[in-house]
Amino acid sequence: MDTRELKKAAADVRIGVIKALHNAGSGHPGGSLSATDIVTALYFDEMNIDPKDPGLKGRDKCVFSKGHAGPAQLSAMALKGYFSMDEFTETLRKIGSKFQGHPNMKIPGIEMATGSLGQGFSAAAGMAMANKLDNDPGRIYAVLGDGELQEGLIWEAAMSSAHYGLDNLVAIVDHNGLQIDGRNDDVMKVSPVGAKFAGFGWNVIEIDGHDMDQIKDAFAKARQCKGKPTVIVAETVKGKGVSFMEDQAGWHGKAPNDEQTQQALEELEAAKAAL
Amino acid sequence: MADKIATRQAYGEALVELGKEHDNLVVMDADLSGSTKTAMFAKEFPERFFNMGIAEQNMYGAAAGLALSGKIVCASTFAMFATGRAFEVIRNSIGYTGANVKVCASHAGITVGEDGASHQTFEDIALMRTIPGMTVVNPSDAVATKKLLRQIVEMDGPCYFRVGRAAVPVFYGEDDEITLGKGNLIRDGKDVTIIATGIMVSAAYDAAVMLAEEGIDARVIDIHTIKPIDEEIIIKAAEETGAIVTAEEHGVIGGLGDAVAQVVVKEHPCRMAMVGQQDTFGESGKPDQLLAKYNMTADDIAEVARKVL
Q: Which residue does chain A place closest to B95, by CA atoms?
A: A113
Q: What is the pLDDT of residues B173-194, one digit of tens each?
A: 999 999 999 999 999 999 999 9
Low-confidence residues in chain A, pLDDT < 70: none
Q: What is the pLDDT of residues B244-261, one digit of tens each?
A: 999 999 999 999 999 999
The pLDDT of residue B46 is above 80: yes
Give the nearest partner residue to A122 out of B48, B62, B71, using CB atoms: B62
Q: What is the pLDDT of residues B47-77, one digit of tens each?
A: 999 999 999 999 999 999 999 999 999 999 9
Q: What is the pLDDT of residues A180-201, one digit of tens each?
A: 999 999 999 999 999 999 999 9
Average pLDDT, stretch B203-213?
98
Q: Say whether A133 and B62 touch across the interface (CB within 8 A).
A: no
Give the nearest partner residue to A124 out of B65, B71, B89, using CB atoms: B65
Please give, rounded to a whole number of angstroms, the shortest distance from the CA of A116 to a CA of chain B. Answer: 7
Give percent above pLDDT 90 in chain B.
99
Q: Say whether A130 and B71 touch across the interface (CB within 8 A).
A: yes
Q: Say whether B48 and A127 touch across the interface (CB within 8 A).
A: no
Question: What is the assigned CATH class of domain B4-169?
Answer: alpha beta
Would you state the pLDDT for residue B131? 98
Average pLDDT, stretch B71-87?
98
* Matching fold, domains B4-169 and B184-308: yes
Q: Say whether B64 and A112 touch across the interface (CB within 8 A).
A: yes
Which of B56, B248, B249, B303 is the catalytic position?
B56
**ipTM attached to this prediction:** 0.96
Q: Taking CB atoms and an 8 Å cutoff, what residues of chain B touch A151?
A: none
Whether B162 contacts B250, CB under 8 Å: no
Tell whether domain B184-308 is in CATH 3.40.50.920: yes
Q: Please report, for chain B, the start and end positions of each structural domain, with discontinuous segments joined by +.
A: 4-169, 184-308
Q: Say whether B58 and A124 touch across the interface (CB within 8 A).
A: no
Does B239 participate in catalysis according to the annotation?
Answer: no
Please give, rounded to a whole number of angstroms, the shortest distance from the CA of B33 to a CA of chain A. Answer: 17
The pLDDT of residue B1 is above 60: no
The pLDDT of residue B2 is above 90: no
Q: In b/e form, how buried is each residue of B273-295, taking b as 16+ CB within 10 angstroms?
A: bbbbbeeeebeebebeebbeebe
